[in-house]
Amino acid sequence: LAADNAPGSARSLRLTALTKEFATFTAVRSLDLEIPAGSFFALLGPSGCGKTTTLRMVAGLETPTSGTIHLGDDEITYAKPYKRPVNTVFQNYALFPHLNIHDNVAFGLRRRGIKDVDRQVKEMLGLVELDTQASKKPTQLSGGQQQRVALARALINRPEVLLLDEPLGALDLKLRRAMQIELKRIQTEVGLTFVHVTHDQEEAMTMADTIAVMNAGVIEQMGSPAELYENPRTTFVANFLGQSNLIEGTVAAAENGVVRVDMHGTQVSIPAERAHTRAGAGWVGIRPEKVLVAPAGEPIDAPGNHMTGGVITDVSFVGVSTQYLVMMPWGQELMAFEQNTGRRGVLAHGTKVDVSWRPEFAFLLPASQDVH
| Packing angle of the helix pair 143-155, 117-127 (nearest 10 deg) | 130
- By beta-carbon proximity to ligand ATP, the closer residue of 63 and 132 is 63
Binders of ligand ATP among residues 145 to 204 (CB under 6 A) are 199
- Nearest to 130, CA basis, from 179, 196, 198: 179
- Which amino acid is it at 178? A
> Is 24 one of the binding residues for ligand ATP (CB under 6 A)?
no
Contacts of 269 (CB under 8 A, 6+ apart): 258, 259, 260, 261, 305, 359
Q: State the Cα–Cα distance between residues 105 and 150, nearest whole angstrom.
A: 8
Residue type, position 50, single letter? G
Residue closer to ligand ATP (CB basis): 90 or 107:
90
Indicate whether 84 belongs to the interface with ligand ATP (CB under 6 A): no
| Distance in angstroms (rounded) separating the CA atoms of residues 143 and 148 | 9
219, 45 Cβ separation under 8 angstroms: no
Binding track over 88-117 against ligand ATP, x by CB under 6 A = ------------------------------
User: In the complex, which residue's CB is closest to ligand ATP?
Assistant: 52
Which sign, positive or negative, has the C-alpha torsion 100, 102, 105, 107? negative
* Residue whose CB is less far from ligand ATP, 49 or 171: 49
Cβ neighbours of residue 211 under 8 Å, at least 6 residues apart?
41, 42, 44, 204, 205, 222, 223, 224, 225, 228
Does residue 293 contact residue 309 with C-beta atoms inside 8 Å? no
User: To the nearest whole angstrom, how small is the minimum distance from the Cβ of residue 355 to ligand ATP?
Assistant: 37
Single out the residue of 11, 35, 37, 53 in contact with ligand ATP (rule: CB under 6 A): 53
d(C-alpha 198, C-alpha 329), whole Å: 39
Neighbours of 271 (CB within 10 A): 16
Name the strands in the sheet holding 292-295, side by side, starting at the edge strand that comes first in the sequence. 292-295, 352-357, 305-317, 321-327, 333-339
Closest approach of ligand ATP to the CB of residue 136, in Å: 31
Stretch that binds ligand ATP, among 51-59, 79-87, 146-154, 230-238 (CB under 6 A): 51-59
| Residue in 14, 51, 84, 148 binding ligand ATP, rule: CB under 6 A | 51
Return the range that interacts with ligand ATP (CB under 6 A); candidates 22-30, 76-84, 119-127, 223-231.
22-30
Looking at the Cβ atoms of 52 and 369, the one nearer to ligand ATP is 52
DSSP secondary structure, 188-218, as one string: HHH--EEEEEES-HHHHHHH-SEEEEEETTE
Cβ-contact 217, 27 below 8 angstroms: yes
- Judged by CB under 6 A, the residue of 17, 48, 94, 112 near ligand ATP is 48
- CA-to-CA distance for 163 and 195, rounded, in angstroms? 5
Q: Taking contact as CB under 6 A, which single stretch among the options 19-27, 99-107, 307-315, 360-368 is the one that binds ligand ATP?
A: 19-27
State the nearest-atom distance from the C-beta of 51 to ligand ATP, in Å.
4
58 vs 326 by CB, closer to ligand ATP: 58
233 part of the interface to ligand ATP, by CB under 6 A: no
Q: Of 22 and 78, which has the nearer Cβ to ligand ATP?
A: 22
Of residues 27, 117, 127, 162, which one binds ligand ATP by CB under 6 A? 27
- Considering only 3, 6, 8, 25, the residue that binds ligand ATP (CB under 6 A) is 25
Does 52 contact ligand ATP by CB under 6 A?
yes
Member of 5, 14, 50, 167 binding ligand ATP (CB under 6 A): 50
* Contact call for residue 49 and ligand ATP (CB under 6 A): yes
* Binding region for ligand ATP (CB under 6 A): 22, 25, 27, 45, 47-53, 199
